[in-house]
Structure 1
Amino acid sequence: MKFSQSAALAFAATAIAAPSPTTPQQPRQASAGCSSAVTLDASTNVFKRYTLHANSFYRAEVEAAVQQMSDSSLAAAAAKVADVGSFLWLDSIANIAKLEPALQDVPCDHILGLVIYDLPGRDCAAKASNGELKVGELSRYKTEYIDKIVSIIKAHPNTAFALVIEPDSLPNLVTNSDLQTCQQSASGYREGVAYALRQLNLPNVIMYLDAGHGGWLGWDANLKPGAEELAKAYKNAGSPKQLRGFATNVAGWNSWDMSPGEFSTKSDAKYNQCQNEKTYVSTFGNSLRSAGMPNHAIVDTGRNAVQGLREEWGNWCNINGAGFGQRFTTNTGLELADAFVWVKPGGESDGTSDPSAARYDSFCGKTESFKPSPEAGQWNQAYFEMLLKNAKPPF
Structure 2
Amino acid sequence: MKFSKSALLTFAVAASASPTKRQSPGACPSPVRLDASTNVFRQYTLHPNSFYREEVELAVQQISDPSLAAKAAKVADIGTFLWLDTIKNIERLEPALQDVPCDHIFGLVVYDLPGRDCAAKASNGELKVGELNRYKTEFIDKIAEILKRYPNTAFAIVIEPDSLPNLVTNIDQTSCQQSASGYREGVAYALRQLNLPNVVMYLDAGHGGWLGWDSNLKPGAEELAKVYKNAGSPSQLRGIATNVAGWNAWDLTPGEFSRASDAQWNSCQNEKLYVEKFGAALRSAGMPNHAIIDTGRNGVQGLREEWGNWCNVNGAGFGIRPSANTGAELADAFVWVKPGGESDGTSDSSAVRYDSFCGKPDAFKPSPEAGQWHQAYFEMLVRNANPAL
Please state which band the TM-score falls in when normalised by the shorter chain.
over 0.9
Task: Look up the match of 2:257.
Answer: 263
- Structure 2 matches for 1:153-164, cutoff 5 A? 153-164=147-158
Q: Deviations over 1:79-115 (max 9, x none)?
A: 1000000100000001000000110000000000000
Please state whether the residue corresponding to 1:324 is helix, strand or coil: coil
Task: Look up the match of 2:352.
Answer: 358
**AA partner of residue 365 (structure 1):** G
Maintained 8 Å contact 1:317/1:350: yes
**AA partner of residue 303 (structure 1):** R
Maintained 8 Å contact 1:33/1:158: yes
Please state whether the residue corresponding to 1:287 is helix, strand or coil: helix
Please state whether the residue corresponding to 1:339 is helix, strand or coil: strand
Alpha-carbon separation, structure 1, partners of 2:300 and 2:333: 20
From 61, 78, 87, give the equivalent of 1:67. Answer: 61
Q: Does 1:111 align with 2:99?
A: no
Alpha-carbon separation, structure 1, partners of 2:338 and 2:140: 21
Maintained 8 Å contact 1:111/1:162: yes
From 294, 302, 311, give the equivalent of 1:317. Answer: 311
From 278, 283, 287, give the equivalent of 1:284. Answer: 278
Q: Deviations over 1:122-146 (max 9, x none)?
A: 0000000000000000000000000
From 218, 237, 241, give the equivalent of 2:231. Answer: 237
Task: Look up the match of 1:376.
Answer: 370
- TM superposition shift of 1:31: 3.3
Please state whether the residue corresponding to 2:238 is helix, strand or coil: strand
- Structure 2 matches for 1:114-153, cutoff 5 A? 114-153=108-147
**AA partner of residue 363 (structure 2):** S
Maintained 8 Å contact 1:171/1:217: yes
From 38, 44, 55, give the equivalent of 1:44. Answer: 38
TM-score by length of 2: 0.94
**AA partner of residue 178 (structure 1):** D
From 206, 228, 242, give the equivalent of 1:248. Answer: 242
Alpha-carbon separation, structure 2, partners of 1:356 and 1:47: 43
From 287, 294, 299, give the equivalent of 1:300. Answer: 294
Structure 2 unaligned blocks of 5 or more: 1-23
Q: Deviations over 1:44-91 (max 9, x none)?
A: 000000000000000000000000011111111111000000100000
From 341, 344, 354, give the equivalent of 2:338. Answer: 344
Alpha-carbon separation, structure 2, partners of 1:291 and 1:83: 39
Please state whether the residue corresponding to 2:210 is helix, strand or coil: coil
Maintained 8 Å contact 1:215/1:274: yes
Maintained 8 Å contact 1:120/1:188: yes
Alpha-carbon separation, structure 2, partners of 1:299 and 1:355: 32
Report sequence identity in percent.
80
From 218, 224, 240, give the equivalent of 1:224. Answer: 218
Q: Deviations over 1:23-53 (max 9, x none)?
A: xxxxxxx833111100000000000000000
Please state whether the residue corresponding to 1:257 is helix, strand or coil: coil
Q: Deviations over 1:205-254 (max 9, x none)?
A: 00000000000000000000000000001000000000000000000000
Alpha-carbon separation, structure 2, partners of 1:255 and 1:328: 15
Maintained 8 Å contact 1:197/1:237: yes
**AA partner of residue 326 (structure 1):** I
Maintained 8 Å contact 1:32/1:103: no
From 28, 31, 42, give the equivalent of 1:34. Answer: 28
**AA partner of residue 209 (structure 1):** L
**AA partner of residue 112 (structure 2):** D
**AA partner of residue 44 (structure 1):** T
- Structure 2 matches for 1:183-202, cutoff 5 A? 183-202=177-196
Alpha-carbon separation, structure 2, partners of 1:33 and 1:140: 32
Alpha-carbon separation, structure 2, partners of 1:266 and 1:206: 37
Alpha-carbon separation, structure 2, partners of 1:82 and 1:297: 25
Please state whether the residue corresponding to 1:173 is helix, strand or coil: helix
Q: Does 1:387 align with 2:373?
A: no
From 65, 78, 81, give the equivalent of 2:75. Answer: 81
Alpha-carbon separation, structure 2, partners of 1:39 and 1:361: 42
Q: Deviations over 1:334-376 (max 9, x none)?
A: 0100000000000000000000000000000000000000000
**AA partner of residue 282 (structure 2):** L
Task: Look up the match of 1:208.
Answer: 202
Alpha-carbon separation, structure 1, partners of 2:226 and 2:173: 21
Please state whether the residue corresponding to 1:113 is helix, strand or coil: strand
Please state whether the residue corresponding to 1:370 is helix, strand or coil: coil
Task: Look up the match of 1:166.
Answer: 160
How many residues align? The count is 366
TM-score by length of 1: 0.92
- TM superposition shift of 1:281: 0.2
**AA partner of residue 128 (structure 1):** A
Alpha-carbon separation, structure 2, partners of 1:172 and 1:135: 15
Q: Deviations over 1:144-182 (max 9, x none)?
A: 000000000001000000000000000000000110000
